């Protein structure tokens, strides 16, 4: 991976982690005295859903120009998988009535598949023909995550509008 692409990937990862941390703090409330409203919670989930979709684009760019060294490739995709797993765990906390929880479960399922595919790339990092297929699978699974994320975003927007 080139120097510019690496900086872009690292920058995107930092933004994603910062957004998840900010949303986690916002959802935690202030010392238990003031709880967030449902609109604030839904808006937080909406932001993380957008970040999840953006993160798949970052990973897609990384599949187009993967690092040459097998260890670096494996480390990078394990890192991607860990962040995807964290996002999936975050969306399991959605509760409520209507289509939002079911859309969240679909997104969590898509993220789980995506995580599995990312980990398989890390295992195949030795560089054989199966790695090219695994990288194509990453792009396909990423597209599925973007579809599920879009559906969750629409459900959250509808819940906020009500």
pLDDT in tens, 144-158: 999 998 888 888 888
Indicate the angle between helix axes 3-28 and 70-91, nearest 10 degrees.
20
Mean pLDDT of 67-86: 86
- Could you read off the pLDDT of 96-105 as tens digits, one per residue? 656 778 888 8
pTM exceeding 0.75 = no
Mean pLDDT of 59-80: 85
- Is the dihedral angle over the CA atoms 39, 41, 45, 50 positive or is it negative? positive
Q: Do residues 139 and 57 touch, judged by C-beta distance below 8 A?
A: no
Query: 86 pLDDT band (50/70/90 cuts)?
Result: confident
Q: So where are the chain's domains?
A: 3-161
∠143-149-105 over CA atoms, to 5°? 110
CATH number of 3-161: 1.20.120
* Cα atoms in the 13 Å half-sphere on the side-chain side of 67: 18
Indicate the angle between helix axes 38-64 and 70-91, nearest 10 degrees.
160
pLDDT of residue 18: 46
């Amino acid at each position: 991976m080139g120097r510019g692409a690496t900086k872009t990937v690292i920058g995107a990862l930092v933004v994603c982690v910062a957004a998840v941390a900010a949303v986690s703090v916002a959802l935690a409330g202030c010392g238990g005295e003031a709880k967030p409203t449902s609109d604030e919670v839904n808006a937080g989930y909406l932001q993380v859903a957008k970040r999840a979709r953006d993160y798949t684009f970052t990973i897609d760019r990384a599949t187009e120009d993967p690092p040459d060294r097998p260890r670096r490739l494996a480390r990078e995709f394990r890192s991607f998988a860990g962040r995807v797993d964290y996002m999936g765990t975050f969306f399991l906390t959605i509760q409520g009535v209507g289509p939002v929880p079911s859309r969240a479960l679909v997104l969590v399922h898509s993220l789980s598949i995506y995580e599995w595919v990312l980990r398989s790339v890390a295992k195949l990092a030795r560089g054989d023909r199966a790695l090219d297929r695994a990288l194509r699978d990453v792009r396909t699974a990423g597209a599925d995550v973007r579809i599920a994320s879009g559906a969750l975003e629409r459900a959250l927007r509808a819940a906020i509008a009500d």
